[in-house]
């Protein structure tokens, strides 16, 4: 006689959290992982070792939330350390390469809940592999938006402030800022409404927010006479 199988089998699934820099991706990832930990689920958390901005052994959001994590060099390393886990969190998925898609599929097939956060676009605004592929196969997708540092509109682009041509240049506020579509395309010409124009380029400056309109003179309505 064969052993009885479990009546309920968890099918596993993939959740993807994408957005620009400073959109709260890591914060949202940590929030979900914390809730799983509170429910006493076995959680394994990973991030690429290339991203050592906040140390190698924890995820840290820009809002200073922290959770211990393991640094991995490749997507396949995740498989090695995720055996026991029911919930797997992966941050900065765009740095783990195309193998990450297969790895996530395998983990989900084993009944695990896989949550991946990452940049959906690179600094040129191009889809940042393997996040687009993960978005296609995921059951749940969350897009987080930042706020444009120039004009305050919702921002989904990571604008690189210094000229570096490599696609992957890990950096923080010194190198990147969140921008809306319009301010991203204006590049260096984008100027905050209350900021002085950059030196030497005043003719090219395109103010982002509409300038306050001069107050219109009110015409007296026809047929209305001043009393007195």
Task: List interacting residues with Zn ion (CB under 5 A).
Answer: 148, 150-151, 153, 180, 183
> Which residues are part of the catalytic machinery?
92
Residue 123: CB minimum distance to Zn ion, A: 16
Closest CA to 101 of 64, 76, 67: 76
Closest CA to 178 of 218, 138, 147, 153: 147
Whichever of 69 and 121 has its CB closer to Zn ion, that residue is 121
Whichever of 44 and 186 has its CB closer to Zn ion, that residue is 186
Residue 23: CB minimum distance to Zn ion, A: 14
Residue 208: CB minimum distance to Zn ion, A: 6
Whichever of 108 and 155 has its CB closer to Zn ion, that residue is 155
Whichever of 168 and 206 has its CB closer to Zn ion, that residue is 206
């Amino acid at each position: 006689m064969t052993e009885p199988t479990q009546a309920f089998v968890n099918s596993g699934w993939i959740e993807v959290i994408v957005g620009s820099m400073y959109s709260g991706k890591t914060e949202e990832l940590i929030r979900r992982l914390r809730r799983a930990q509170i429910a006493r689920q076995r959680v394994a958390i990973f991030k690429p070792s290339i991203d050592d901005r906040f140390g190698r052994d924890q995820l840290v959001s820009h809002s200073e939330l922290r959770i211990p994590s393991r640094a991995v060099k490749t997507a396949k390393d995740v498989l090695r350390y995720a055996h026991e886990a029911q919930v797997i969190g992966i941050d900065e998925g765009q740095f783990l390469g195309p193998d990450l898609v297969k790895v996530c599929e395998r983990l989900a097939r084993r009944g695990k809940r896989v949550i991946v956060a990452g940049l959906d676009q690179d600094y040129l605004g191009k889809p940042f592999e393997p996040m687009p592929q993960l978005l296609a196969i995921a059951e749940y997708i969350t897009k987080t938006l930042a706020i444009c540092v120039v004009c305050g509109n919702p921002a989904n682009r990571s604008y690189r402030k210094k000229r570096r041509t490599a696609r992957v240049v890990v950096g923080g506020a010194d190198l990147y800022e969140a921008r809306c579509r319009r301010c991203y395309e204006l590049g260096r010409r984008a100027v905050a409404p209350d900021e002085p124009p950059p030196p030497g380029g005043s003719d090219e400056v395109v103010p982002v927010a509409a300038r306050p309109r001069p107050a219109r003179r009110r015409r007296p309505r026809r047929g209305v006479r001043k009393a007195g």
